[in-house]
Structure 1
Amino acid sequence: MTAPRWTAACLAAAISAALLAGCAAGSARPKPAELPPNVAVIGVQQAWSARYSAVDFPLQVATAGNRVVLATGNGTVVTLDAATGGEVARASLGEPLSAGVGSDGRLSAVVTRGNEVVALDGGTTLWRYKLKSQSYTAPLVAGGRVFVLNADRTLTGLDGRTGRLLWTVQRPVEPLVLRQEGLLMAVGNTLVAGLSGRMVGVDPDTGNIRWEVPVASARGTNDVERLVDLVGGVARQGSVVCARAFQTAVGCVDAGTGNLGWSKAADGGTGLAGDGETVFGTESDGKVMAWRASDGDRVWLSERLRWRVLTAPLALGRSVILGDSTGLVHMLSRTDGAPLNRLTTDGSGVAATPVAAANTLVVVTRAGGVFGFRPE
């Protein structure tokens, strides 16, 4: 997603608050890099588009087969056929959202700003569960259960059919947490979550912690400098999960054994993507980076998109695909970061990491535009 970026001054102003409400990446940010004329090395055309209301929360777009599930800030949750852009289902909750969407293709889940988890079957609300604190991470729907990671890094397991509480894992509350998606995913029969700077493997049936590995260690002398939350969006190959600790490090962990493969210093705030051989990500200043998956050595660096406020990447075919704050979608070569194509949307900024389904690249914008692109 297009994560908020905070300067040290911005963060310092928020220390007294329980959450970072999100200092905008505005006033002190350098001018975005000028872009040369687009040369379409890979032919891509817009196949369809749709329009919904604005997206003003950390959206994660879910994919299941040929369908994508997305939501808007006012509580509309929509399932689309990725091939045509046609609506399959719609639910209107009538209240603003703080996180979503998680889906297994049948059951979907979001979190409202009133701190309620809402489970949906298509356009029908199945149940609601009241959380004790806010969440900015889309619920994980897997194995007939719904898992929720709160902003205070409380982890909760709920029954998917009834919403009944199964278990809760709670850690000491951090002085500061990020108002963006955290790490929450399933790897085999292990629930993998980010709790502060540690990647944690949890038994999904009991909530018992199987292992935990520090991807980054807190540094500095104040709460701002010691903020090392793991952010959502990972590069995964088999049981190996590579993740980012906010503005601190990038590292890979074997979720089967709980062993750290490598960790490298990195100054970014959004998630990663990968293809088994290479891990891709962006730095806070817009540099696009590629690391070798086996040992973390740098493969290439591109400065073409500096200061353009990029989403986390999507690795698709020959390309690494990123959206920016002006609504452009950039396709770079996985081999060396060279530009392959540049796509336009509605100019309002890309709201979430692009996703792929039914041979279609799906992009959602801040203004609520949804665009489907396909190879020519």
Structure 2
Amino acid sequence: MKKILSKALSCSLLLGAIVGCSSEEDTVIMAPVPAVKSEFTPKSEWTSSIGNGVGHFFSQLSPDVAYGKVFVGSRDGEVKALDPENGKTLWSIDLEDETIARLSGGIVAAYSALFIGSENGEVIALEAETGEVKWRSTVNGEVLARPVVDSNLVIVNTSRGILTALDAETGEEKWNISTEVPNLTLRGDSSPVAVAGGVFWGTANGRLAAAIAERGQLIWQQPVGTPKGATEIDRIVDVDASPIVIGSNLFTVGINGQLISIDLRSGKPTWKRNYSSAIDMATDNRRLFLVTDSDHMVAVDARSGTEIWTNDKLENRLLTGPVIIDGYVVVGDAEGYLHWIDRLTGEFVAQQLVNDSGFSVGPVVMDDGYLVVTRNGDIRKLSLPEAE
């Protein structure tokens, strides 16, 4: 398992799991960096930094770009707004209180504010223009996943299986929905998705759930994986990937489960395929791109679930979720490489070493380039060379 198991494993894992625990018989071998003849070399526009980054901790603390600013944060509580043109700091705030802030879920910009979750069970709202704290609210469980903001609600999925909606202006709790959390789960949670008045999220017990966002009424749950096997580890079925919506269909994938297409209105599956993953997918609205639990890259036809291509050359390199940049599928890895893949064929087209501290999250697309943040807090805006 790449992601850290909670509640039952005592061995310490760097970057999720580069090798197995000392008590395990098998060792996970990271594939060597594939030899790639790059068709282009991305250009650095500017560099900056944010505290100590996220270190070797599990983290989904991704930057956001909105309101003419780049918003970045570090696990220890530093949050900055940067000028997207030159990377200069526009404002900075330290959210560390009596303990380390342990920021992990977010950043999300909406309603002229930023919303960030923490491992301390806090959701924090900041003024986007100044960085001033609007409110801090406590929720039941760690907030490891990115919140979703919709209909004046900030909706977070916590490690205790509780989906909680807070008022975006005040932080007051409006409703919560509780789902079962098994004794042993992966470290991480599904980021909710809001569409057409509904909110959709994956659960630790192997389901995709749907609720009416306005009042927090659960309307259906669809199994994505069914626990099987003799041990608790074998029976892990977390759905930690954020759902993707294309038209009237919703797509998600679970660990030891399936990649599944679901009709939004009925909650009924339209197709299922046997893939196992706990990482967010990407789409170009015709294909789904996913990273399996062995770090194999796969492209699947969104209409039928038919596999288009697979690339196994990055096996066990602890990949980020894929991102579509200028028509390429891009993933980062634990050694700080970005891998550029042709979305039609699955072949490598370029490779870029950014920073050997590695990536915990993938790049963020900007209007005139893309943004990367490495584990040690290095921030870079890069762009592709213009076609001749």
The code of the aligned residue for 2:359 comes to: V
Moved more, 229-238 or 133-142: 229-238
Q: CA deviation at 1:66?
A: 5.2
Q: What is the aligned partner in structure 1 of residue 143 from structure 2? A: 135
Where does structure 1 lack aligned partners over 5 or more consecutive residues?
Answer: none
CA separation of 1:352 and 1:213: change in aligned 2, threshold 3 A: same
The correspondence for 1:151, drawn from 151, 156, 159, is 159
User: Aligned equivalents of 1:261 and 1:236: distance in 2?
Assistant: 14
The code of the aligned residue for 1:228 comes to: V
Matched, 1:253 2:250: no
Q: CA deviation at 1:237?
A: 1.8
Q: CA deviation at 1:120?
A: 1.1
Verify the 8 A CA contact 1:177 1:229 in the aligned structure 2. yes
The correspondence for 1:229, drawn from 231, 235, 238, is 238
Q: CA deviation at 1:77?
A: 2.0
Number of equivalent positions: 366
Q: What is the aligned partner in structure 2 of residue 338 from structure 1? A: 347
Q: What is the aligned partner in structure 2 of residue 126 from structure 1? A: 134
User: Aligned equivalents of 1:322 and 1:254: distance in 2?
Assistant: 29
The correspondence for 1:103, drawn from 85, 105, 109, is 109
User: Aligned equivalents of 2:214 and 2:91: distance in 1?
Assistant: 30
Q: CA deviation at 1:43?
A: 4.8
Map 1:55-74; keep pairs closer than 5 Å: 55=54, 56=57, 57-64=59-66, 67-74=69-76
Where does structure 2 lack aligned partners over 5 or more consecutive residues?
Answer: 21-26
CA RMSD of aligned residues (A): 2.5
Verify the 8 A CA contact 1:192 1:255 in the aligned structure 2. no
Please give the per-residue CA displacement for 1:170-220, whole angstroms capped at 9, x wherever unaligned: 123321232224131112221111123222221111100123222222223
3-state DSSP of counterpart to 2:81 = strand
TM-score by length of 2: 0.86
Q: What is the aligned partner in structure 2 of residue 39 from structure 1? A: 37
User: Aligned equivalents of 1:24 and 1:43: distance in 2?
Assistant: 30
3-state DSSP of counterpart to 1:230 = coil
The correspondence for 1:78, drawn from 52, 77, 80, is 80
Q: CA deviation at 1:124?
A: 0.9
User: Aligned equivalents of 1:46 and 1:247: distance in 2?
Assistant: 39
Map 1:17-36; keep pairs closer than 5 Å: 24-27=17-20, 28-36=27-35
Please give the per-residue CA displacement for 1:30-61, whole angstroms capped at 9, x wherever unaligned: 1422421x423245312222112221433233
User: Aligned equivalents of 2:9 and 2:152: distance in 1?
Assistant: 39
The code of the aligned residue for 2:125 comes to: A
Q: What is the aligned partner in structure 2 of residue 51 from structure 1? A: 49
The code of the aligned residue for 2:28 comes to: R
Q: What is the aligned partner in structure 2 of residue 364 from structure 1? A: 373
Matched, 1:282 2:291: yes
Q: What is the aligned partner in structure 1 of residue 24 from structure 2? A: none
The code of the aligned residue for 1:251 comes to: I
CA separation of 1:205 and 1:219: change in aligned 2, threshold 3 A: same
3-state DSSP of counterpart to 1:366 = coil
TM-score by length of 1: 0.89
Please give the per-residue CA displacement for 1:234-274, whole angstroms capped at 9, x wherever unaligned: 44323422222124221222334423222211133312111
User: Aligned equivalents of 1:271 and 1:126: distance in 2?
Assistant: 30
Share of identical aligned residues, percent? 23
3-state DSSP of counterpart to 1:231 = coil
Runs of 4+ in 1 over 4 A off after TM superposition: 20-23
Verify the 8 A CA contact 2:206 2:226 in the aligned structure 1. yes
Larger relative contact order (CA 8 Å, sep ≥ 6): 1
Q: CA deviation at 1:99?
A: 2.3
Verify the 8 A CA contact 2:28 2:316 in the aligned structure 1. yes
Matched, 1:5 2:2: yes
Q: CA deviation at 1:110?
A: 1.6
The code of the aligned residue for 1:29 comes to: V
